[in-house]
């Protein structure tokens, strides 16, 4: 085992504590969480309730100035990612960073972070698009990349789930804080689409609204403006098409995510949390469809996301340790494009027309 890797976590709400527990399960890999930073006392107390010795700061700059960690995880509300990332990147002491998705809430901020990071080749930045690591999704990616299904033409992703959870100070109730539903949570799915088709997005058409959830909630006199359902079509530069079907009042579903990939030779599907993967070739018909239960025995902690946070950390840790030879699996460019598709989809709903990626990237 290589030397000890010291981690700090900025923002220890729901996801920050999830990182804390995942990193605890990586202690045999030489990982130790030495500090956290969060201004919210209840979050600090919950993070300390595991009785693992950690130094507590109320502010991210104090954590950085302390110089006691090598890697920082940024798991604060979306609208704070930009400022915190810039402070990390511009800090004299190099800290590698795992930043939660979305990279930032706007394309302009993502671009400024990318420019700043170019001046710090000593820092690795990984964006937390962790759905890539969920065992059934990873297995489907393997099948697609192995060429079994031929050239991928269509990617349909259905997320049918429960409404947005309550967050500290209700930051996720407003587009100005989260970037909007299609940026905040759907960046995961746009990232997967790009990965499955191996191409870049060109234009986006979306229809969506806030129809059921949060309508009776009021915060400082304002009613939430985040949409709770949408259809989004994404066209790629190799002719492939993606389709997202999002519904956030669909608790009565067996699966939360259902992914269907069709190539010119065959079709593959993945189901989460059932963890089932199915695939078949056109020549073999229905009787030839294969099925397996996807598992990954490297996972020591399933957590809230079916082991993907654990595998994400394992992956980032090896990228840090093999620096110069191995780049982060999900880099800043992936983070930017996943946000750009979400921004274009939000614009498409507002404008009622196709929106090109070029249009939003230049705005």
Ligand X SMILES: NC(=O)c1ccc[n+]([C@@H]2O[C@H](COP(=O)([O-])OP(=O)(O)OC[C@H]3O[C@@H](n4cnc5c(N)ncnc54)[C@H](O)[C@@H]3O)[C@@H](O)[C@H]2O)c1
Q: Name which position in 31, 37, 141, 240 contacts ligand X (CB under 6 A).
A: 37
For the chain, the C-alpha Rg in angstroms (whole number) is 20
Residue of 7, 20, 35, 43 that binds ligand X (CB under 6 A): 43
Rounded CA-CA distance 255/277 in Å is 13
β-pair partners for 342? none
Give the max Cα distance, the chain: 62
Examine residue 40 and tell whether it contacts ligand X (CB under 6 A): yes
Using the rule CB under 6 A, is 10 a contact of ligand X? Answer: yes
Binding mask 50-89 for ligand X (x = CB under 6 A): ----------x--------------xxxx-x---------
Binding of ligand X at residue 15 (CB under 6 A)? yes
Q: Does 11 bind ligand X (CB under 6 A)?
A: yes
Q: Which residue number has the CB closest to ligand X? A: 13
Strands (E), 18-106: 31-37, 55-57, 71-74, 96-100
Q: By CB under 6 A, name the one of 96, 305, 306, 313 that touches ligand X.
A: 305
Q: At what angle do helices 308-321 and 14-24 cross, to 10 degrees?
A: 60
Q: How far is the CB of 260 from ligand X (least distance, A)?
A: 21
In the complex, the smallest distance separating the C-beta of residue 230 from ligand X, rounded to whole angstroms, is: 17
Check binding of 130 to ligand X (CB under 6 A): yes
CB of 14 to ligand X, least distance (A): 4
- Which CB atom, from 72 or from 149, has the smaller least distance to ligand X? 72
Site for ligand X in 90-109 (CB under 6 A): 100-101
Q: How far is residue 187 from each of residues 107, 130, 193, measured CA to CA in Å?
A: 12, 11, 10
Q: Which one, 32 or 168, has the nearer CB to ligand X?
A: 168
Of 280 and 315, CB closest to ligand X: 315
Closest C-alpha to 160, from 78, 79, 82, 244: 244
Q: Which stretch binds ligand X (CB under 6 A): 32-40, 140-148, 222-230, 353-361?
A: 32-40
Terminal C-alpha separation, the chain: 47
Containing H/E element for 206? strand 201-209
- Minimal distance, residue 353 CB to ligand X, in Å: 28
| Smallest gap from residue 32 Cβ to ligand X (A) | 20
Under the criterion CB under 6 A, does residue 128 sit at the interface with ligand X? yes
Sole binder of ligand X in the list 25, 38, 186, 227 (CB under 6 A): 38
Task: From 18, 54, 51, 47, select the one nearest 33 (Cα to Cα).
Answer: 54
Q: Of 149-208, which residues contact ligand X (CB under 6 A)?
A: 167-168, 171, 184
In terms of phi and psi (left: phi > 0; alpha: psi -120 to 50; beta: otherwise), the region of 241 is: beta
Q: Rounded to whole angstroms, how far apart are CA atoms 38 and 12?
A: 6
169: helix, strand or coil: helix
Q: Would you state the torsion angle of the CA atoms of residues 48, 54, 58, 60, taken in this order, to the nearest 10 degrees?
A: -130
Q: Interface residues with ligand X (CB under 6 A)?
A: 10-16, 37-40, 43, 60, 75-78, 80, 100-101, 128, 130, 167-168, 171, 184, 305
């Amino acid at each position: 085992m290589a030397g000890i890797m010291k981690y700090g976590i900025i923002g220890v709400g729901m996801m920050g504590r999830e990182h804390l527990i995942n990193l605890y399960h990586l202690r045999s890999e030489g990982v130790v969480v030495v500090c956290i930073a969060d201004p919210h006392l209840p979050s600090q107390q919950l993070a300390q309730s595991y009785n693992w010795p950690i130094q507590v700061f109320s502010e991210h700059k104090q954590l950085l100035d302390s110089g006691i960690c090598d890697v920082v995880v940024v798991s604060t509300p979306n609208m704070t990612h930009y400022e915190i990332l810039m402070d990390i990147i511009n800090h004299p002491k190099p800290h590698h960073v795992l930043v939660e998705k979305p990279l930032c809430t706007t394309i302009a901020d993502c671009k400024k972070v990318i420019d700043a990071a170019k001046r710090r080749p000593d820092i690795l930045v990984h964006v937390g698009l962790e759905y890539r690591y969920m065992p059934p999704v990873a297995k489907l990616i393997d099948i697609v990349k192995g060429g079994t299904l031929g050239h991928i033409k269509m990617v349909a992703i259905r997320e049918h789930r429960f409404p947005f959870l309550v967050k500290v100070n209700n930051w996720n109730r407003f587009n100005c804080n989260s970037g909007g539903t299609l940026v905040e949570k759907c960046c995961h799915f746009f990232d997967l689409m790009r990965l499955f088709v191996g191409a870049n997005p060109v234009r986006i058409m979306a229809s969506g609204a806030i129809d059921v959830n949060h309508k009776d909630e009021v915060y400082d006199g304002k009613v939430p403006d985040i949409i709770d359902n949408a259809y989004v079509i994404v066209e790629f530069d190799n002719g492939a098409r993606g389709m997202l079907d999002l519904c956030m009042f669909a608790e009565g579903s067996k699966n939360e995510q259902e992914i269907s990939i069709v190539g010119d030779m065959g079709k593959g599907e993945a189901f989460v949390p059932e963890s089932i993967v199915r695939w078949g070739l056109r020549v073999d018909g229905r009787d030839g469809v294969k099925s397996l239960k996807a598992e990954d025995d490297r996972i020591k902690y399933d957590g809230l996301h079916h082991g993907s946070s654990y595998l994400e950390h394992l992956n980032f840790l090896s990228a840090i340790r093999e620096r110069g030879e191995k780049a982060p699996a999900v880099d800043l460019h992936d983070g930017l494009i996943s946000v750009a598709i979400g921004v274009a989809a939000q614009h498409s709903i507002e404008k009622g027309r196709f929106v090109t990626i070029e249009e939003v990237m230049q705005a």
